[in-house]
Amino acid sequence: MTTYGFLGLGIMGNAMAANLVKAGFDVTVWNRTPAKCAPLLALGARQGLSPCDVVAACDITFAMVSDPTAAREICFGPDGVLAGIGDSRGYVDMSTVDDGTARSIMQAVSARNGRFLEAPVSGTKKPAEDGTLIILTAGDQSLYEQAAAAFEKMGKMHLYLGEVGQAARMKLVVNMIMGGMMAAFCEGMALGTKGGLDGSQILEVIAAGAIASPMFKGKGAMLLQGEFPTSFPLKHMQKDLRLAVSLGEALAQPLHCAAAVNEIFKQACAAGHADADFSAVFEAIR
């Protein structure tokens, strides 16, 4: 029976790990704040003392942390992943990072006889809870095949994209587009309501036409109510936009819209909305 580890139990990681435990898998969890392990322990998971401890005890270990800095820390830091990897054990980093970070982790894991897969996800809190994420993977194909049973409990779709770095790039493209859509949506809602239009009717017209979107439907009510419970933190969207713009610079691809949207999200972070849902960019726009 395959044993699984899970490192990082934030908004996304907690829900993803819970789906593995509920499916009857043998799961050991770790979080920098140990108290966050409690709900999973109640479901039947075990608690590891460190990333090293979890990786050394499990056939495959997943990680879901906030950004490239956290991904590097959990891998290269004291009692980190590298201290426990080896013997062809698998490490699957599901965090959203840049392709350079993914490759550096892959090289370090491989040098210690481990197998590595990058597997960032498309989806926010609700899809994570429902097990309907889209999982984008690249790296060791044997690990992809071995982890497929777990991916099926966490997502509705999992893709293998080839060499490490390609999944990171795919995720940044998707989130860059999503950030741009949200900024345009918020500008339209702000313009319409300031012009005397009824916000609910704007949403109704959008939902009936060619630009209808599950995101607009889900976030529209939040904009009208002025409440932004966190599903995907605004600061994480800004991080992804920043990484996408950096990728554009590296590839000599102009990203005029993305660069402007990144500035809007930076403004929203500076205005105190960093930990709110990314739809709170509406507060900075209006």
Tell me the pLDDT tens digit for each residue of 25-37: 999 999 999 999 9
**Over residues 25-54, mean pLDDT:** 97
Tens of pLDDT, residues 174-218: 999 999 999 999 999 999 999 999 999 999 999 999 999 999 999
> What pLDDT is attached to residue 188?
98
The highest-level CATH class for domain 169-285 is: mainly alpha
Res. 250 pLDDT band, cuts 50 70 90: very high
Phi and psi angles of residue 114, each rounded to the nearest 5 degrees, phi first: -105, 170
| Token pair in block for residue 195 | 């012009």
CB atoms within 10 A of CB 157: 13
Tens of pLDDT, residues 153-180: 999 999 999 999 999 999 999 999 999 9
Tens of pLDDT, residues 78-111: 999 999 999 999 999 999 999 999 999 999 999 9
> What pLDDT is attached to residue 169?
97
> What pLDDT is attached to residue 241?
98
Residues paired with residue 134 on neighbouring β-strands, in sequence order: 122, 157
Nearest Cα neighbor of 49 from 11, 85, 79 is: 79
| 171 is annotated as an active-site residue | yes
- Can you identify the CATH homologous superfamily of domain 3-164? NAD(P)-binding Rossmann-like Domain (3.40.50.720)
Distance CA 263, CA 238 (A): 9
3-state secondary structure of 116: strand
Nearest Cα neighbor of 220 from 239, 200, 191 is: 200
Residues paired with residue 92 on neighbouring β-strands, in sequence order: 62, 117
Alpha-carbon torsion, ordered 32, 36, 40, 42, to 10 deg: 130
3-state secondary structure of 249: helix
Ranges of each domain in the chain: 3-164, 169-285
Residue of 125, 171, 235, 239 with catalytic role: 171
**Over residues 56-60, mean pLDDT:** 98
Radius of gyration of the chain (CA): 20
Pairing of strands 115-118, 90-93: parallel
**Over residues 1-17, mean pLDDT:** 97
Res. 226 pLDDT band, cuts 50 70 90: very high
Q: What is the mean pLDDT of the chain?
A: 97
